[in-house]
Amino acid sequence: MNVAVDENEQMLAGVIKHLKNLYPGFSREIAASKFEFRTDLPTACTDGKGIYINPNFFKKITDREKTAVLAHEIMHIKFDHLRRMKDREGNMRDSKLWNIATDAIINENLANDMLFLPEGCVRLPNATKYTAEQLYNALKKLQDKKQQNQKNNSQGNNSQDKSNGDGNSDDFDFDVNNHNMWEKVFEEAEEQKQEQDKKQSKQDTDESEPTSCNTPDNSPDYDIDENAEFKKNRELRRKIQKQEQQAPPQQYNEEDTTQSFGPVGTIEEDVLDWTSILKEGFNSNSHKKKEKRFSQRHSPNGEWRKEKNKVKSPKVTEVMVDISGSVSKSMVKNFLRTLKQILPKSELKVGFFNDTATKEFIEIHSEDDIDNLKFNTGGGTSGNAALGAFTDDPSINKVVFTDGEIYDTLSKDYENIEHLSWVVYDKYSNFQPNCGEVLLVDPDQFTNEETLSM
């Protein structure tokens, strides 16, 4: 084993440690997974049992991206996505569409857990509303409809009919993760199953009541709800953290610098992560009273919304960042990285305020833009300065990132401002503005990347 792989092994141990803290509900899958570095793969993949990683790729990506990549592959194992490629009736699904559906659900949940995905990953912001089967069926219908329209418009183009007649998924432009081995592994598993069935059939020939072959590995659970499992894990994580917070100080391990993911405010015991709330809020038609919105959020009917009734989220998000003396530059930049992840389809623009506000927004296209941000901290916190800097356009998302220590009374002119969220990095704040909704966040969520137990 060369030096590069040795370094990766050390980084891998740190990532696994962080994953165990972040996903206590999936600890069995994390512990059971075997990890192997292989240079014959472009990035990382799984065969349903092991996780295989290109060492050069692993070394190149950031620590946060390492965590997201391994979590992604572990979730494919957790949710049995490889064996669910065959549906309940025994028919093989379109492998590329199945990859898109499963990748999208995993990636959106990882983003909600504030993991940073490498560029080029499949992102479908509404994927968290569906199970893998539901999203696959929706994509399949969309593909079939598109291909039928192409067929009608082609007026008998024979070459297109032959290539697309079975539902080719090339109509989608997603850069699907490397799951090339899935089909091969599935074929090998099917061959093994057939051999087992033959042996069992011979054993049962002379028996009056044939016994069924006990092969649980060949019976995938088609009722898995990936999003519900992620939600259960978040609830378990909060309970564990609450117990740790109530424990005597001497029980803490001072050397453990694992990131703390605290609860969002104190609205309800069954409260959602602020990332999910913010994303759902910007996908809603308007920002109504938060009591009503929280009630709706905790009473989902589980039904799909028809495409024609779907409300698209605004394409632009303006962020005013409080740069008074209480904030650190690293906290601001980590918050912006998180926001970029949970709103991948939105154009992100950033401004700053203290006693006054900047008049021009800085466009954020990549993490490099965030890393290169320059600003000075200090001064007081004027809420009116922040609100006055936003573009007067109701279709734009508006976010104020602040400690909530605003010294001025907000003007009544802002009472009806739309699509506004205050992300307050003080989970004990009593900040009650006359507009928008308040999301209380534990500031430890925006610690430096180096403190993530790497």
Tokens 């494919």 correspond to 76
Q: Determine the residue type at 245.
A: Q
Residue 371: what pLDDT? 87
E strand or H helix at 306: none
User: Which domains does the chain show, CATH number per domain?
Assistant: 3-202+222-226 (no CATH), 262-451 (3.40.50)
Q: What percent of the chain has pLDDT over 70?
A: 67
- Has this prediction a pTM greater than 0.75? no
If you average pLDDT over every residue of the chain, what do you get? 75
Which regions of 243-355 does DSSP assign to beta strands (E)? 316-322, 347-353
SS3 35: strand
pLDDT tens-digit map of 339-369: 888 887 789 999 999 999 987 899 998 888 9
Beta bridge partners of 402: 424
Burial 377-397 (b: 16+ CB within 10 A, else e): eeebbbbbbbbbbbeeeeebb
Distance CA 322, CA 429 (A): 15
Model confidence at 43: pLDDT above 70: yes
Residues 211, 213, 218, 220, CA torsion sign = positive
pLDDT tens-digit map of 298-323: 334 444 433 334 444 458 999 999 99
Structure tokens at 69: 């990549």
Model confidence at 295: pLDDT above 80: no
pLDDT tens-digit map of 140-173: 998 888 888 888 887 655 544 444 434 444 434 4
**CA-to-CA dists, residue 16 to 31, 90, 192, 240, 260, angstroms:** 9, 35, 32, 18, 16
Which regions of 58-183 does DSSP assign to beta strands (E)? none
Average pLDDT over residues 258-282: 47
Residue 281: what pLDDT? 63
Tokens 């564990």 correspond to 240
Determine phi and psi for 117, rounding to 5 degrees.
-85, 140
